[in-house]
Chain A
Amino acid sequence: MSAPRLLHPGAWWLWAVALSACALRTTNPVLLCLIIAVAGWVVVSRRADVPWSRSFASCLRLGMIVIIVRVVFQILFGVRVSGMTLFTIPEVTLPDWAAGVSLGGPVTLESLMAALYQGLRLAAVLACFGAATSLCSPYRMLRALPTVLYEAGVAVTIAFTFAPQAIVASRQVREARRLRGRSDRGVRAWTASALPVLEGALDRAVALAASMDSRGYGRRGSSSVAVRRRSIGLVLLGLVAIAVGSYGLLDPGAPALFRVPALALGAAALLGALIAGGRSTTRTRYRPDPWAAPEWIVSFAGVVAFGSFVSVSRMGDALNPSTNPLEVPAVPVLAVVGLLVAALPAWCAPRPPALVAPSTMAVAA
């Protein structure tokens, strides 16, 4: 248990992505619920006390909504699979311009369960994303960007810094409207206040640019031709691979190699290009986040869980319980164990330090 510090955002994201990949491989409600629980547990025990750590809760709520939407969708548009009819709603057929789809009819338990499973899966994926966002500070995330994306990162940072001020400014402007004897409520007031805020923002941008310029912004070693060639080459390779991959994805005739492997290769090449390009800048990072044992453990935990799911899916249908006929979902022990491993970060990750959050997220609430 190391001293309180923020874990490298990359580790959290790896963990979360692996977990969501697990969720994608199953419609087993039990496992999905377990995934959500694991994510929640880790978030609760390792999130910093900062505004953005709330996003997990909101993602859970969103997940709930997704489930409901999916089920309602099934009830309205569901094609009537045979089975135990729960209730029947009157049939309607939409006009042709709306593609003449027909709504309503008898609603069966089987169809509802299928919808529920699918909704649950999406909810689980959302929960994983929510976990990642609420576990790592966006600022750290930006600092972890590859250096070629530095400019974009700076732009985002500026946006973070400026957003709350823009909100304050818009409030002042609305007050100012009242001072000038205009109503400060309603959409009109809101729109009218938008413009002065924008103008202030733009003036602000000019001042900011001057300050950045005089503080050495954009002072980078001209990227050497070799490096540039290398990164461009990588990019092209990546593009070709992706093209092949997406072709293979769509054409049944294409050999298996032309599919996911090709796309993976493409992704790798692009990533390589980003990193290779980074070498060319003379910029340095102040106190970069270390990638130490805890980072390894956390990301490893996620990978283990994913591995367990893959091996389970090899063994049979336990990950996708049939809803028609409706059967009691089996609980593959291996997958459960894998998910428990994924819960390890709740203990292995260092506690976050007590840091004061900048007002960005707060005001946004």
Chain B
Amino acid sequence: MTVATPRRVDAVRLGLTAWVLLVAAFALGIVAFAWPLFASASSSIDASHSNDAPWIFVVLIPLLIGVILAELADGSLDAKSVALLGVLAASGAVLRLPSGGVAGFEPVFFLLVPAGRVFGRGFGFVLGAITLFVSALITGGVGPWLPFQMFGAAWIGFFAGCLPPARGRIEIAMLAAYGAIAALAYGLVMNLWFWPFVSAGDTTVSYVAGDSLVDNLRRFWGFHVTTSFGFDIPRAVFTALFIVVAGRPVLGALRRVARRAAFEAPVSFIDASASGSTN
């Protein structure tokens, strides 16, 4: 019974290419999400084809996610990881159902964070992406925002896997804090992408292309506060609460299965003819 000190599982290992891709994806992600802030007045974003840029990203992001998934999958995504991914993604999607996918009550992270924690970064990344994809397909909520949600969730899972080692209460506290922050950041970033659409044109909180970064930030903050705090704060609180309440058993369950599925478990054949084979 190694519940006390489980070895750090890394269900999906990251090769060099994977790392390159992830870094690139992260950079592109920043551009894709934050372009409204950096776009200058007369750059082509708001020139002739005014709203093309975000839609370009709507195409690019999924492609990038695809490439990353392919890279992560290449070899290191064995039956166990895939089965776990599928089942966890389904559970996440189901958890999301009672909230009807409404932003306010979003228990997705409550599963995603511990899973990323237990099964490692790569797994967290894939799980985040797949969970939101599945729940979108199940609730029929496929839309231009989907790639961005997948992307955001993927990173939440990823960084959950990057958290420093800790045990017991500290671990739970850390996860809860991370969950809350992640939830807030998620909402903020989603808004940042969505902002120019909802409030393009002439409102006091609307995105004005080419305005100074500070002013746009100010207006964005205004937009965020006035529109989304109502959802984001409760979501963050819920996530943290969930992790505090159910975090320990969930972690326990995940570690149990990590043990039972025997990732990296010692396998050996003692045999006259052949011996010492590995998985």
Whether, in the assembled complex, A334 has its beta carbon less than 8 Å from a beta carbon of chain B, the answer is: no
Interface centre among A52, A213, A259 (most CB of B within 10 A): A259
Cα–Cα distance between A213 and B69 once the two chains are bound (Å): 20
Interface on chain A toward B: helix, strand, loop, or mixed SS? helix
Chain B's closest residue to A223 (CB) is: B74
Could you tell me if B86 and A154 are in contact, using CB atoms closer than 8 angstroms? yes
A243 at the B interface (CB under 8 A): yes
Assuming the A-B contacts A70-B198, A149-B73, are A209 and B79 also in contact, with contact meaning beta carbons closer than 8 angstroms in the complex? yes
- From A266-274, A325-333, A340-348, the one touching the partner chain is A266-274
Q: Nearest A residue to B199 by beta-carbon distance?
A: A73
Interface residues in B245-279 by Cβ distance below 8 A to A read: 245-246, 249-250, 253-254, 256-257, 260-261
Closest to B69 in A: A152
Please give, as numbers and ranges, the residues of chain A lying within 8 Å of B73 by CB-CB distance: 148-152
Please name all residues of chain B whose beta carbon is closer than 8 Å to the beta carbon of A339 when the two chains form the complex: none
* Least CB distance, A208 to chain B, in whole angstroms: 4
Residues of B within 8 A of A191 (CB): 242, 245-246
B52–A218 CB distance below 8 A: no
Q: Is the CB of A100 within 8 A of B67?
A: no
In the bound complex, do residue B245 and residue A239 qualify as a contact, i.e. CB atoms below 8 Å apart? no
8 A Cβ contacts from A21-74 to B: 21, 24-25, 52, 54-55, 58-59, 62, 69-70, 73-74
B212 within 8 A of A: no
- Give bound CA distance, A252 to B43, whole Å: 4
* 9-residue interface stretch from A163-171, A291-299, A300-308, A349-357: A163-171
Smallest CB separation, A236 vs chain B (Å): 8
Contact B49 A155 (CB under 8 A): no
Indicate whether A270 sits within 8 Å of B63 (C-beta atoms), given known contacts A111-B202, A158-B82. Answer: yes
Give Cα distance in the complex from A291 to B258, angstroms: 42
Evaluate contact between B59 and A361: CB separation under 8 angstroms: no
Partner of A249, one of B43, B77, B198: B43
B79 touches A206 (CB 8 A): no
Are B67's CB and A159's CB within 8 A?
no
A202 and B87 contact, CB distance less than 8 A = yes
Q: Which residues from B are CB-within-8-Å of A223?
A: 74
Contact B257 A259 (CB under 8 A): no
CA distance A249 to B54 in the complex (A): 11
* Given known A101-B204, A209-B80, contact A162–B97 (CB-CB < 8 A): no
Instruction: Identify the closest chain A residue to B31 (Cβ).
Output: A246
Chain A interface residue number, banded: 35 or more
- Whether, in the assembled complex, B184 has its beta carbon less than 8 Å from a beta carbon of chain A, the answer is no
Task: Collect the chain B residues with CB atoms within 8 Å of residue A111's CB.
Answer: 202
CA distance A7 to B161 in the complex (A): 41
Q: Would you call B226 an interface residue if the criterion is a C-beta within 8 Å of the partner chain's C-beta atoms?
A: yes
Counting CB contacts under 8 A, is A204 at the interface? Answer: yes
Give the contact stretch, choosing among A76-84, A175-183, A282-290.
A76-84
Q: Is A364 an interface residue (CB 8 A)?
A: yes
Q: Does A321 contact B (CB under 8 A)?
A: no
Closest A residue to B105 by beta carbon equals A187
Assess whether B142 is in contact with A55, with CB atoms less than 8 Å apart: yes
With A217-B82, A250-B31, A250-B38: A129-B70 Cβ-Cβ less than 8 Å = no
- Assembled-state Cα–Cα distance A250/B134 (Å): 33
Most chain A C-beta atoms within 10 Å of own C-beta, residue among B32, B77, B85, B138: B138
Q: B91 near A156 (CB under 8 angstroms)?
A: no
CA–CA, A263 and B83, complex, Å: 35
Cα–Cα, bound, A360→B78 (Å)? 25
Task: Answer yes or no: B103 CB below 8 A from chain A CBs.
Answer: no
Q: Is the CB of B222 within 8 A of A99?
A: yes
B111–A198 contact, CB under 8 A? Answer: yes
A77-B204, A94-B222, A249-B44 known; A201+B90 contact, CB < 8 A = yes
CB contacts (< 8 Å) of B60 on chain A: these are 242, 263, 266-267, 270
B230 to chain A: closest CB distance in Å? 13
Contact yes or no, A126 B206, CB < 8 A: no
Q: A99-B222, A159-B89, A249-B44 are in contact. Are A138 and B137 (CB under 8 A)?
A: yes
A-B contact pairs, 14 of them (CB 8 A): A24-B55, A55-B142, A77-B206, A133-B140, A159-B86, A161-B90, A162-B86, A210-B79, A236-B20, A249-B43, A250-B43, A250-B45, A259-B44, A267-B59
Query: Which chain A residues have a beta carbon within 8 Å of chain B's beta carbons?
Result: 21, 24-25, 52, 54-55, 58-59, 62, 69-70, 73-74, 76-79, 81, 94, 97-103, 111, 114-115, 118, 122, 125-126, 129-130, 132-134, 138, 146, 148-152, 154-163, 166-167, 170, 190-191, 194-195, 197-199, 201-206, 208-210, 212-213, 217-218, 223, 232, 235-236, 238-239, 242-243, 245-246, 248-252, 256, 259-260, 263, 266-267, 270-271, 273-274, 277, 360-361, 364
- Beyond A195-B246, A235-B67, A246-B31: 16 further Cβ-contacts under 8 Å? A77-B226, A81-B202, A94-B225, A98-B222, A100-B218, A100-B222, A155-B130, A166-B94, A209-B84, A209-B261, A212-B82, A235-B21, A246-B35, A250-B35, A267-B60, A274-B63
Nearest 3 interchain pairs by C-beta: A158-B86, A55-B140, A99-B222
